[in-house]
């Protein structure tokens, strides 16, 4: 039996947003590894090993998956959203680089609908022009780097999607982010707080930067800041495709 590793995106939350390609890989899998709440989304079945682990165990998880594949197992590493957006695909390749013995492993990256796309679709089209995505967690990079990227993205006129805006471990950091954005963008810029999109807990709330409060975000919230042209039309928010609009 030939083993393989697939890194799969489970989408933003609702099962109907999981792609058929990911569903097919899960049906073939002998083992599923991933962060505890993501593995919990997988329906148990006979012959399927489920291997949940802590959120900070990414490299260990990737090494375990490569090891099982070398033993002939068909392993799916599950991520939320898309596995290439602040998720497990990069961790797998980092592990592969450190362990060249696994270089010939059959690896498949299976895309999913990431949170910023699901949130943008719910709101309208706030990412309709040039945009960037920034992870606000300082677990893997210093906050000074985050602040620098925020300022440059704002000065470049990008709409921005923010992942991991606020957690129990760093409840005050998002206030600093909002201060930086107000300094660079002014008080009238539209900002969207999209929490738990596609789940029963979904909640969308859009305000101006002047009205934004840190408490509007938590770790289940995807935040989108519009650019200078972003505006409302009825209940929707959109960014025109023309830079001159």
Residue 234, CA distances (Å) to 56, 66, 100, 238 in order: 42, 50, 55, 10
Report phi then psi at 128, rounded to 5: -70, -15
8 A C-beta contact, residue 17 and residue 61: no
Predicted local confidence at residue 56, as pLDDT: 84
Block residue for tokens 């920034």? 134
Architecture of the CATH domain 116-238: 2-Layer Sandwich (3.30)
Entry pTM: 0.93
pLDDT digits (tens, 9 = 90+) for 39-56: 999 999 999 999 999 988
- C-alpha 66/C-alpha 142 separation (Å) is 30
Report phi then psi at 238, rounded to 5: -145, 160
| Higher pLDDT among residues 123 and 245, named by residue | 123
Predicted local confidence at residue 139, as pLDDT: 86
Collect all residues with Cβ–Cβ distance below 8 Å to 156 and sequence separation of at least 6.
none
8 A C-beta contact, residue 211 and residue 170: no
Closest CA to 80 of 119, 39, 43, 44: 39
For the chain, percent of residues with pLDDT exceeding 90:
91
pLDDT digits (tens, 9 = 90+) for 133-187: 999 999 889 999 999 999 999 999 999 999 999 987 777 899 999 999 999 999 9
Domain residue spans in the chain? 4-113, 116-238
The mean pLDDT value of the chain amounts to 95
**CATH fold label, 4-113:** Cobalt-precorrin-4 Transmethylase; domain 1 (3.40.1010)
Report phi then psi at 50, rounded to 5: -105, 130
């Amino acid at each position: 039996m030939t083993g393989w590793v697939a890194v799969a995106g489970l989408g933003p939350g609702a099962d109907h947003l999981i792609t058929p390609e990911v569903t097919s890989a899960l049906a073939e899998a002998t083992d599923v590894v991933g962060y505890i709440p993501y593995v919990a989304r997988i329906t148990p079945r006979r012959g399927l090993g489920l291997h949940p682990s802590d959120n900070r165990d990414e490299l260990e998880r990737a090494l375990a998956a490569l090891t099982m594949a070398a033993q002939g197992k068909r392993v799916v590493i599950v991520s939320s959203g898309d596995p290439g957006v602040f998720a497990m695909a990069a961790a797998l390749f980092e592990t592969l680089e450190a362990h060249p013995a696994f270089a010939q492993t059959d690896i498949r990256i299976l895309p999913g609908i990431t949170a910023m796309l699901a949130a943008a679709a719910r709101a309208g089209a706030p990412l309709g022009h040039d945009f960037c995505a920034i992870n606000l967690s300082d677990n893997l990079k210093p906050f000074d780097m985050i602040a620098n990227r925020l300022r440059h993205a704002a000065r470049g006129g990008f709409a921005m999607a923010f992942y991991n805006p606020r957690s129990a471990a760093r409840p005050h950091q998002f206030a600093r982010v909002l201060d930086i954005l107000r300094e660079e963008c002014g008080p009238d810029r539209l900002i969207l707080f999209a929490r738990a999109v596609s789940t029963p807990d979904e909640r969308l709330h859009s305000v101006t930067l002047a009205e934004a409060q840190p408490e509007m975000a938590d770790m289940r919230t995807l935040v989108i800041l519009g650019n200078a042209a972003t505006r409302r039309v009825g209940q929707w928010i959109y960014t025109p495709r023309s830079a001159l609009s």
